[in-house]
Amino acid sequence: MSKTTASAAWITQFGLLMWKNWTLSKRGYKIMIMQILSPFFFILALYVMNEVLSNTSKENLYDDQPTPEPERVGQIPRCIVGSNKDRCWTIAYAPRSTNSTSIIRADSDLPEDEVIGFDTEDELDDFVYNNPNTTQGGYVFNVSQVGGNTVVGFTLLTNQTSQMRYGKVIKYATYVQVPMMVALQRQLFKYATNNPDFVFSVDAIEFARPPPETLNIIGRAGSTFFFGCLMFNFVMALVQISTERELRLRATLNLMGLRDSVYWSTWMITYIFFATWTVLLLCAFGAAFQFDFFLDNNFGTYFILLELFALSLVPLSFLTSTLLKKSSSAMFLYDDDAGGGTIIGQYILAWFSPVMLAKGLNDIGEAQPGYSFGDIIDNTDKWPLIQLYIWLVLDFFLYLGLALWFDNILPNEHGVRRPWYYFVTPSYWTGKVSARAPQPHDDTPPDETVDEDVYAEEKNVRTDNLPESTAVKIMNLNKTYPGCRKKLGKNKCTRCFMKSFCCCCGKRTPFQAVSDVWYHIDSNHLFCLLGHNGAGKTTTINMLTGQISPTHGDAEIYGYSILTHMDKIREMMGVCPQFDVLWADLTGREHLMLFAGMKGIPWKKLSQEADDRLGEVSLTKAMNRLSSGYSGGMKRRLSVAVALVGDPKVVFLDEPTTGMDPVSRREVWDIIERAKKGRVVILTTHSMEEADTLADTIAIMAKGQLQCMGSAIHLKKKFGAGYQITVAVKRESRGAVTEFFESQIEGVVMEADGVSDYLNFAIPADIQDLSSFLALLETKKKELGITDVLVSLTTLEEVFLRITEEAENRGEQDDDGSDDDIDDDDDMPISPKAVEMDVRKDNKKHKQVEQSDDDNSD
pLDDT (average), residues 563-580: 86
Helix (H) or strand (E) holding 511: strand 511-522
473, pLDDT greater than 90: yes
Separation of alpha carbons 785 and 753, rounded Å: 18
**Average confidence (pLDDT) over 173-199:** 82
What is the mean pLDDT of the segment spanning 481-497?
58
pLDDT for res 666: 87
**Using one digit for the tens of pLDDT, what is the confidence trace for 749-804?**
887 555 567 888 888 777 777 888 888 888 888 888 888 888 877 788 888 888 88
Residue type present at position 256: M
742: Cβ–Cβ under 8 A, 6 or more apart, which residues? 748, 750
Residue 485 pLDDT class (50, 70, 90 cuts): low
Helix (H, G, I), strand (E, B) or coil at 750: strand
In this predicted structure, the answer to whether residue 474 has a pLDDT above a threshold of 90 is: yes
Confidence of residue 846 (pLDDT cuts 50, 70, 90): very low
Q: How far is CA 414 from CA 485, 541, 720, in A?
A: 22, 12, 36
Share of the chain above pLDDT 90, in %: 15
Q: How confident is the model at residue 519 (pLDDT cuts 50, 70, 90)?
A: very high
Amino acid at 130: N
Q: Mind listing the pLDDT tens digit for each residue in 793-841?
A: 778 888 888 888 888 877 654 444 444 444 444 444 444 344 444 444 4
- The pLDDT assigned to 808 comes to 80
Return d(Cα 712, Cα 691) in angstroms, integer: 8
Q: To the nearest 10°, report the CA torsion of 453, 456, 457, 458.
A: 120
CA distance 804 to 682: 21
Whether the upstream peptide bond of residue 829 has omega within 30° of 0, thus cis, is: no
8 Å CB contact between 339 and 423: no
Q: What is the DSSP letter of 705?
A: E
pLDDT at 697: 93
Distance CA 431, CA 812 (A): 35
CA atoms within 13 Å, Cβ hemisphere of 507:
5
Q: Cα–Cα distance between 352 and 178 in angstroms, integer? A: 53
Question: How confident is the model at residue 49, as a pLDDT?
Answer: 77
What's the pLDDT at 769?
A: 79
∠ CA(728), CA(731), CA(737), 5° rounding? 60
Give the confidence band of 458 by pLDDT, cuts at 50, 70, 90: very high
Specify the pLDDT at position 436: 47
Residue 697 in contact with residue 711, Cβ under 8 Å? yes
pLDDT, one tens digit per residue, over 77-123 is 888 887 777 888 888 989 887 677 777 777 777 888 888 889 899 99
pTM of this prediction? Answer: 0.67
- Decide if pLDDT at 359 tops 60: yes
Mean pLDDT of the chain: 78
Cβ 614 vs Cβ 630: under 8 Å: no
Instruction: Give the orientation angle of helix 6-27 with respect to helix 588-598, to 10 degrees.
Output: 150
Is the pLDDT score of 2 beyond 60?
A: no
Q: Cα Rg for the chain, rounded, in angstroms?
A: 44
Q: Is the peptide bond before 68 cis (omega within 30 degrees of 0)?
A: no
pLDDT at residue number 100: 73
The DSSP letter of residue 167 is T
More confident residue, 196 or 472: 472
Q: What is the mean pLDDT of residues 125-149?
A: 86
Domain layout of the chain by residue ranges: 1-52+223-409, 82-202, 452-484+508-715, 722-793
Q: Is 275 a residue whose pLDDT tops 70?
A: yes
Whether pLDDT at 856 is above 50: no
pLDDT band at 345 (very low <50, low <70, confident <90, very high): low
- Non-local CB neighbours of 35 within 8 Å, separated by 6+ positions: 232, 233, 236, 274, 277, 278
Give the pLDDT confidence of 391-433 residue by residue, as tens digits: 888 988 998 888 888 887 776 665 556 677 777 777 666 655 5
In DSSP terms, 529 is beta-bridged to 684, 699
Sheet with 89-94: list strands edge to edge.
115-117, 89-94, 135-146, 149-158
Most confident option among 42-51, 52-61, 814-823: 42-51
At 268 the pLDDT is: 93
Secondary structure string (H, E, C) spanning 577-637: CCCCCCCCCCEHHHHHHHHHHHCCCCHHHHHHHHHHHHHHCCCHHHCCCEHHHCCHHHHHH
- Secondary structure class of 297 (helix, strand, coil): coil
Nearest of 180, 140, 137 to residue 159 by alpha carbon: 137
Write the pLDDT tens digit of every residue in 175-185: 888 888 888 88
The average pLDDT across 493-522 equals 68
Residue 608 confidence (pLDDT): 92
Fold observed for domain 722-793: Alpha-Beta Plaits (3.30.70)
- Report which DSSP code applies to 69: P
Q: What is the pLDDT of residue 527?
A: 95
Considering only the top CATH level, what class is 452-484+508-715?
Answer: alpha beta
Q: pLDDT tens digits for 623-649? A: 999 999 988 888 888 999 999 998 899
How sure is the predictor about 587, in pLDDT bands with cuts at 50, 70 and 90?
very high
314-326 pLDDT tens trace: 898 888 888 776 5
pLDDT at 826: 44
Q: What is the pLDDT of residue 173?
A: 72
